[in-house]
Copies of this chain bind each other. A is one copy, B any other.
Amino acid sequence: MAEAQSAARRAVAEREDVARHYRKVRQATEALCEPLATEDYGLQTMPDVSPVKWHIAHTSWFFETFILLPNLRTYPVFDPAFDHLFNSYYLTHGTPFLRAQRGFLSRPTVARVQDYRRAVDDAMLALIAHADSTTWRRVEPLLELGLNHEQQHQELILTDLKHAFAHNPLWPAYRSDLRSPPLRDAPPQGWCELADGLIECGHAGPGFAYDNEQPRHRVWLGACAIAQRPVTNAEYLEFIDDGGYREPRWWLSEGWSTLLDEGWRSPLYWQRRDDEWWQFTLGGMRPLDPAAPVCHVSHFEADAFAAWAGQRLPREAEWEACAQQVGADPRAAGTNLRDADHLQPVAAAAVGAPNQLFGDVWEWTASPYIAYPGFRRPDGPVGEYNGKFMSGQLVLRGGSCATPADHIRASYRNFFHPGDRWQFSGIRLAEDR
């Protein structure tokens, strides 16, 4: 009986932990909104960019739709119209509102969406506290997914706002209080050597991971070397100054035609003023730091740079093997993830051990984003979360200066189209041995 009581107490304590974590993640989203004017919440500067208001509503819709409605009988739908408006892409659930028109929704207002968040939070916290154990077994994995989903949208809020503000000739700073990061020299480049052999890749064991990181599986790797730090702005400028954007031979065929169509001559957000390069940041327009990792490059640019440098991009399994080998840890001191609050890449501090695998910039790999051997899409609408995007995109690894520190891990697979540049994406080189 004492045992039963103590089990019950453990269960209660566990639920309280979950509730605390839930609140923390949700509040982090709201904290990101604090610097915004009401007018900023509605901006959509391209179909890939969603308004902040939509992000904060959609993440609530996720909890409401996939957790509250199936599991909390007393939950009254906050507004039946929201199911259409804030469904992102779950076609087996319903018909989402047109993505490219999310910016057309001045209503619901910001205030009403905040009410929506509060209503969902109240219900979620009630469910967390009081769900019976059968329900809880169903709810818990979805809750974990929902919070990770929310963190992904936290990063998107930052990247989407950066894109939106960059289209305003006033160059508004998202955070006027954001200080410029320390200027220092980049450490000299070095290599992390990987011997050939069978490695294991992907997630297994405890802890959360997305379906697309699973199952853990064997991969044969040839011997290779992975650069100890990302390519810097100074190194990338050499490529530009050597005519890199005018020379088709460095480029993939589709990269070259994209360059011509888009008129690319430098990474996104760079601007040349009187012979000086500047870059637009979440703190406003700033001089380019030559020692910081180059950022906002497409896969095409990363690949062309590597070709010009006589090297190549790492495969994702190589990247993961490297991270395993050096014991890379996203929580290590000095890691420039979002919690460091720079919100832009910063020059590496240390020399020696592989550095900046986590944080600063998402690192384009040479690997198309496809299913791991043995992957199966989950049943139900949540099966659309990752699997249906396994076409035409490439894997990026390691998180960026906009990624929450407790959201990233060595097996994490991010993915974007090869021409995408609005994420904090950069370059790490590799070569065969």
Q: How far is the CA of A40 from the CA of B42 in the complex (A)?
A: 9
**Chain B residues with CB under 8 A of A371:** 312, 366
Across the interface, A248 reaches (CB within 8 A) one of B39, B91, B110, namely B91
Across the interface, A170 reaches (CB within 8 A) one of B41, B81, B101, B300, namely B81
**Chain B residues with CB under 8 A of A383:** 249
Interface size class of A (residues with CB under 8 A): 35 or more
**Chain B residues with CB under 8 A of A97:** 169
User: Are B81 and A389 closer than 8 Å at their CB atoms?
Assistant: no
**Chain B residues with CB under 8 A of A255:** 391
Could you tell me the dominant secondary structure of chain A's interface residues? mixed
User: Are A104 and B39 closer than 8 Å at their CB atoms?
Assistant: no
Residue of B nearest to A367 (CB): B370
Residue of B nearest to A300 (CB): B391
* A388 interface residue (CB < 8 Å to B): yes
Residue of B nearest to A104 (CB): B167
**Chain B residues with CB under 8 A of A189:** none
A433 to chain B, nearest CB (A): 10
A366 to chain B, nearest CB (A): 6
Residue of B nearest to A374 (CB): B432
A330-355: CB near B (< 8 Å → 1, else 0) gives 00000000000000000000000000
Number of copies: 4
**Chain B residues with CB under 8 A of A315:** 373
User: Are A39 and B106 closer than 8 Å at their CB atoms?
Assistant: yes
A207 to chain B, nearest CB (A): 24
Given A220-B218, A249-B91, A371-B366, check contact A39 B81 (CB 8 Å). no
Interface residues of A in 185-236 (CB under 8 A from B): 198, 217-222
User: Are A418 and B391 closer than 8 Å at their CB atoms?
Assistant: yes
* A287 interface residue (CB < 8 Å to B): no
* A65 interface residue (CB < 8 Å to B): no
* A305 interface residue (CB < 8 Å to B): no
User: Are A254 and B391 closer than 8 Å at their CB atoms?
Assistant: yes
**Chain B residues with CB under 8 A of A40:** 106-107
A372-399: CB near B (< 8 Å → 1, else 0) gives 0110000000011000111110000000
* A429 interface residue (CB < 8 Å to B): no
* A134 interface residue (CB < 8 Å to B): no
Interface centre among A45, A299, A315, A368 (most CB of B within 10 A): A368
User: Are A107 and B392 closer than 8 Å at their CB atoms?
Assistant: no
User: Are A43 and B370 closer than 8 Å at their CB atoms?
Assistant: no
Q: A interface vs B, CB < 8 Å? A: 37-43, 45, 53, 81, 84-85, 89, 91-92, 97, 101, 103-110, 164-165, 167-170, 172, 198, 217-222, 248-249, 251-256, 299-300, 303, 312, 315, 366-368, 370-371, 373-374, 383-384, 388-392, 418, 432
4 closest A-B pairs (Cβ-Cβ)?
Answer: A368-B368, A91-B248, A39-B106, A220-B220
